[in-house]
Amino acid sequence: EVQLLESGGGLVQPGGSLRLSCAASGFTFSIYAMSWVRQAPGEGLEWVSTVTADGNITYYADSVKGRFTISRDNSKNTLSLQITSLTTEDTAVYFCARHDYSGCYDFWGQGILVTVSS
Amino acid sequence: EIVLTQSPATLSLSPGERATLSCRASQSVTTYLAWYQQKPGQAPRLLISDASNRATGIPGRFSGSGSGTDFTLTISSLEPEDFAVYYCKQRSDWPRTFGQGTKVEMK
């Protein structure tokens, strides 16, 4: 059974940093591209970042470029998102998601809440 | 950035009725458009990929159509579990973008 389990969220002050993790199991992690998608409270979905299966190519939304870093450790089946210089606009539930063959997100984690507040 | 505009924002229907949701792209995405369903407190679920391909396990009452800039998600006969928010998303270009969502609510 495919499982994606996010961790690392919580309350952080503006300007602070967090590292989100997504533990993958039930599939061959190293052959799938992965993404982070977020959802602010009461709002829609926003794509944040994508990393290719080998970790060599990354993509970012303009809203997070230069502040967020996506990475993966295929030996540990783990996807990460290092988030820095946080603002209140980054308050959201962050989902990790697996790409299927067509680049769509066929499996999602349950999400982890990041709250940026003083 | 490709902007996806979904309409209507809210659709009020009864079980058994047909739901027609629209997604319009600001420029052509060919058929690189997907539809997702999200229920409160849950992660989104992939329904349709590449405009018209039902994802694994998705019931036949869900269908997608369209190409270029205009796309439609149709639910032929609403079941109680179909009342949710639906998002379209394009993978034609970076950055990937989602529509703002259509809420299908029970009338």
Which three-class secondary structure string do you get for chain A? Answer: CCEEEEECCEEECCCCCEEEEEEEECCCHHHCCEEEEEECCCCCEEEEEEECCCCCCEEECCCCCCCEEEEEECCCCEEEEEECCCCHHHCEEEEEEEECCCCCEEEECCCEEEEECC
Label residue A102 by pLDDT band (50, 70, 90). confident
**Contact: B44, A46; criterion CB under 8 Å:** no
CB burial of residue B43 (10 Å; 0-12, 13-18, 19+): buried
Does any CB of chain B come closer than 8 Å to the CB of residue A62?
yes
What contacts B86, CB < 8 A, 6 or more positions away? B6, B21, B35, B36, B37, B38, B47, B73, B101, B102, B103, B104
Q: Which two tokens stand for residue B95?
A: 């950055």
Region B95-105 average pLDDT:
98
**Contact: A44, B87; criterion CB under 8 Å:** yes
Label residue A103 by pLDDT band (50, 70, 90). confident
Does any CB of chain B come closer than 8 Å to the CB of residue A31?
no
pLDDT tens per residue across span B21-74? 999 999 999 999 999 999 999 999 999 999 999 999 999 999 999 999 999 999
What contacts A97, CB < 8 A, 6 or more positions away? A4, A34, A35, A36, A37, A105, A107, A108, A109
Mean pLDDT of chain A: 97
Kindly identify which residue of chain B lies nearest to residue A108, measuring between CA atoms: B43
Determine the 3-state secondary structure of B8 from DSSP: coil
Q: Which two tokens stand for residue A13?
A: 């002050």
